[in-house]
Structure 1
Amino acid sequence: MMDETIAIRLEGVEKNRSNFRLGPLHMSIPKGCITAIVGPNGCGKSSSFSLMLELTKSDTGTIELLGHKVGQGRNTELMKRIGYLPEQSSEHEDNMKGTKKAEFYRFWYDSWDVNRYRELLRILEVDDNGTLGKMSKGMRRKFEFALALAHGPELLLLDEPSSGLDPLAWKTMIEILHRYMDQGDHTILMTSHIIEEVKRLADFIVFMAQGRVLGMYEKDELFSSWSTLFISGDELTAKKAAGAPGQCGVEHAGGTTYRITTNKAAEAEKWCASEGINIVSRQALELDEIMSALLMQDRLSKRLK
């Protein structure tokens, strides 16, 4: 039975290559939200997009976009409801003028809005009369971003959207995406290495590593639950602290101070109070620190198997 609250569903999706295995992927991306996939380079983020868009075929599993299964006959009408910004521009289009590529998009998408397209070019300060291969990386990125949005897609797939953008253009892109989401029925799935970008945009965060999904979290809950607690005591206190809820590591921080990394901050604080462990200070973890802790947990779980 179709779940109308889900924009993208991956169930047991795998793609095997000679030097890399993607999956099995299990992922449910909610409608009306922005979900960011984060992870190290080469973890399978871009490959996952390719599978969703049938640019490559999965070996096993099922993929659903906007309630339609991918890979069962022609998906032309479905793809018209999707906007896609790949991480890398196509070298085959380097000799093409921006106006020519826009004409192609206008032919392909029934809902192409030339007024919206021209508005986006104006806001982003892009001249589409130039040859694509002669545009700077940032200018071409802005042009292709405008193309991805101009037909009013229901689902927007953005692979490192801010790559090559200067700070002012990046801020403009963030504002455009916020306005895009204001309609309430739009969904964005994006990848990003920019922590501030994820913080500003994402409602949910998916962590990936080595071709697998490590977990999916609601952003505000994620940042409130992952913390470092600095405690005072001796080695016996540190050993005792290993029993703290959500404990992901206890390390010596110098002198008589130790730090506990936990993904259950509120529970860990209450536990420390009940155990008579003095918390000196607290520090919320940044996204990259959470990613490192998850990777460490993943490596440890593999060793124990």
Structure 2
Amino acid sequence: MTETLAVQLKGVVQKRSNFQLGPIDLAIPKGYITAIVGPNGSGKSSTFRLLLDLVKADEGTIEMLGQEVGSSPDVELNKKIGYLPEESWMHEEKMKATEKAEFQRFWYDKWDVNRYQELLRLLEVDPNQVLGKMSKGSRRKFEFALALAHGPELLLLDEPSSGLDPLAWKTMIDVLHRYMDRGDRTILMTSHIVEEVKRLADYIVFMSQGHVLGMYEKDELFSSWFVYFVSGERISAALAAKMPGQCGVEQAGGTTYRITTNQAAAAEQWCLEQGLELVSSQAMELDEIMAALLMQDRLNARSN
């Protein structure tokens, strides 16, 4: 495995009676935050369970931090990983937070009790509560503190802000930015919160129906996907469809067309060369980009 990768999946397939995940080929770079986004049921949480060896893949290989997952006892590998699941474990409902923290501490050589206590204060969590009696937000903040307390090299966060109020969400964002300051740590997260992805992610992976639609550098993604309103005497649906990166064409009235593209710079140059007028342009939001990718995926599936 290349030293610059924190996670690598090669040809990974998991087959179930009502769902197939993969084949997935994915390379997550070290030292960055990568967010996986996609509709519910697209396979995001299933991918995390495979990474943690909680379930087995039917095909392919998975490597994390230079070690193949499941090839040997993963005790040392697991010490380098922090995990925040989307759902809390039901069998822990009757435990006190302090009891779970003591159990967790036993498994991690680098457990930092001062860091753990600092996170509890920052997040305003009472560790003397019974886990099952905590509010969803308090439970989430407690689990978040646990995931970070041993200073993991790789942090897996499944919908980290679920149940958090705006103030707690902002605190979590600040904590994660500080966590990444060293430059040698990696976060792989899932999220459906557009602002969260924009504030945190360096790379964005789009998933749908068990497979990866694409992985993009965030700034490049947002500078490439645009909607243009184009007008001109010779404009037509056929010509509009030839715009570089074209992902959708609609007539907007008269001789004006609404064109979606994922190659903004090339599209603007093309309009200039074709003698067409750029009436207006609008950068696309993350959810709009995902909708366009999902539409492309459906069209490709039909054509195949």
TM normalised by structure 2 equals: 0.98
Matched, 1:52 2:71: no
2:190 is the counterpart of 1:191: yes
SS in 2 for 1:157: strand
Alpha-carbon distance in structure 2 between the residues aligned to 1:271 and 1:126 = 56
| Partner in structure 2 of residue 294 of structure 1 | 293
Please tell me whether the aligned partners of residues 237 and 277 of structure 1 are also in contact (alpha carbons under 8 angstroms): no
Question: CA–CA distance in 2 between the matches of 1:79 and 1:63?
Answer: 14
1:211 corresponds to = 210
Report the secondary structure of 1:130's partner residue: coil
* 1:114 aligned partner: 113
Question: What's the counterpart of residue 39 of structure 1?
Answer: 38
- So what's the TM-score if we normalise by structure 1? 0.98
State whether residues 85 and 161 of structure 1, in contact with CA within 8 Å, keep that contact through their aligned partners in structure 2: yes
User: For the Cα contact (< 8 Å) 1:233–1:258, is it kept in 2?
Assistant: no
Q: What letter is aligned with 1:97?
A: K
Counterpart-to-counterpart distance in 2, 1:236 and 1:82: 55
How many Å separate the matches in 2 of 1:88 and 1:234?
A: 57
CA positional deviation for 1:236: 4.5
User: Residue by residue, what CA displacement relative to the aligned partner does 1:183-223 show, whole Å, maximum 9, x if unpaired?
Assistant: 11100000000000000000000000000001000000000
| Secondary structure at the counterpart of residue 55 of structure 1 | coil
Q: What is the identity, as a one-letter code, of the residue corresponding to 1:16?
A: K
Alpha-carbon offset, residue 235 of structure 1:
8.6
Alignment of 1:1-305 (within 5 A): 2-233=1-232, 236-305=235-304
SS at the partner of 2:222? helix
Please give the alpha-carbon distance, in whole angstroms, between the structure 1 residues aligned to 2:215 and 2:109: 34
Provide the secondary structure at the position in 1 that maps to 2:126: coil
Conservation of the 8 A alpha-carbon contact between 2:240 and 2:257: no
The one-letter amino acid of 2:80's match is R
Q: Contact between 2:229 and 2:281, CA under 8 Å: does it hold in 1?
A: yes
Q: For the residues of structure 1 that align with 2:234 and 2:272, how far apart are their CA atoms?
A: 18
Unmatched tracts of structure 1, length 5 or more: none
CA distance in 1, matches of 2:171, 2:277: 46
Q: State the identity as a percent.
A: 72
Matches of 2:232 and 2:140, distance apart in 1: 53
Per-residue CA deviations over 1:272-292 (Å, capped at 9, x if unaligned) read 111011110110000011001
Moved over 6 A (4+): none
Question: CA separation in 2, counterparts of 1:85 and 1:270?
Answer: 45
Letter in 2 for 1:290: I
**Alpha-carbon distance in structure 1 between the residues aligned to 2:130 and 2:248:** 53
Take 1:253 and 1:180, find their aligned partners in 2: how far apart are those partners? 47
